[in-house]
Structure 1
């Protein structure tokens, strides 16, 4: 029997941003590869097909989603392939490798975490995302990049505006973007970023230091030369959006998941060695970068029973792949004791996220300090967290209480 898939034509961006899970649950069952007109391309919903495409770089090249290309411009690591991708990763990756991260992450994160918690531990209630998770995420990564003089509020404004621009994926019946406003706001923020960072690049050109952007300028370059800023800025935008925002989202999501199971929360608070497992499950449960990876077929190919001609773009919904019932039983639930299976929250293949180890280390340290300082943390029963987003997904705040 042929499944009727006409319902797919009525999917809207509003529905996807509000809660993509019911839609993708049905897509995995009925049409794991389907053209969704609201986003103007095929989407891939199942884990096996997402993984198959992500790992087959001979057939599939990586491009950035159209809204991402409009946001970041050309030259990002996200949209590179082959030799260009290799060269970009040669100067982006070294400071993000585990051996490098282990040399600096404790001093980068733990003192700031303790300072933030000292400011709130006597309050007895807070939006823990606003008061702690977002600031520690933004400040840790911002300082690592070298943006120590940029106020946290400015960094938040930058990445939120870039996120709204990148997430502005809706297209009209002609395939054109439905709303130019978020892109125009993103352009204004990029001008602000260049105005603020250009003097820093001038300084690092003559006085290189340990910061990430300084390394990007100098690493792999001949003596006396620095990398062109046209290569640097698109990747600064990528890091401002992904690296500053997503560790905070994973922190909030992990705690929101633990709140659903007080017994699991108690175990994690009592035994910090369980925190990495809790974080891994949080990233699987609600992937922070839910649907942003785009691949283009290099030849005619059949995927999930659908014939796709060469040049066809497809969007890999990693958030949906992480809820695939054929891999994880009761996949919609947060459960730290489930058997560990590799998930796709941080991508796969040669475009897997370069900052995975750093990001999860920041999340781990932040939660260690939170549970040490406020072990009796509880959810506010009157203010349940609301998740939002399809491109990037996370809770819009997390209100908590504790006895002082």
Structure 2
């Protein structure tokens, strides 16, 4: 029922505030589309100001941080959102606000949320694994380029690559790079270059644009085609801030088409400077090595053994001569001593020899068979007498025994 008041019987302000709060409290939760004018995140709770998309009207809103974190896409100031909220009225200050229960991105935010979900699904399959990235060749014999016909991206890649390495060869495949059929066209061009066998790396290039215009380069079929490509693929889509899903699956992500040209071929001036520097370092290293070896040889030559090598030979020769002389002296001494012993033994033998006895005037009587006669009873009729210089045959005339003294 309407409140009855008059100038004579006015209602207190607190009563009006209470009635407004009761009325607002009977309202259920509503879906509201607005723009986030500001956002203040505090522990456990977030404070937002929502602004109408056309009018200057704005209203405060609150939500738990978990609701903000559960949003499909990040909520930032300036983003369009759709919120499910219940209106509340704070009586002490008479302020109307919204208690947010769910928040969703709208417009571009919804598009980003869809791309984020697709990105997460593809990442879960391992399509973005860094271990699967193929390295770029140092100097490809030919480069495949997929881009729009007569586009600035094509000119940037070709001109900058040829400035860096004039001899680089390109195989260009023109394709639609915007619109519903562009992803299919890029896939076709990619597979033609891969099957041709003439190129060693493929660049997919396009100039900058809005999120909607770059959507084909986040197409799932194109992402899977690049992932299965046997050749390394360089993504050069848009400006540095643009990041389609193609950038994540490509083997190399270039921030711009110009950057792609710098990545696929080396700079001939830098390479020549590097070769010159390496030759200088190599020559210096060789000189250092020669100087080191020459110093080593000089050190070896300064040693006595090499400075006068004949000294060792002379010393060893003198040692051999000295040893030989000692051996000769020792041998002469030994021979002289043995000769003296032999002479002594010879003199001793000669002294004991029967021949020496015979030379002193003795004779030996022998039978015809050569045996010595030592007694009278052994004397035959005929026998021989052995002298020092011969023998005499004798006949026995008589015998006479002589007794011992």
Q: TM-score, normalised by structure 2?
A: 0.19
Bigger share in helix: 1
> Relative contact order, CA 8 A, sep 6+: which one is greater?
1
Bigger share in strand: 2
Larger Rg: 2
Q: TM-score, normalised by structure 1?
A: 0.19
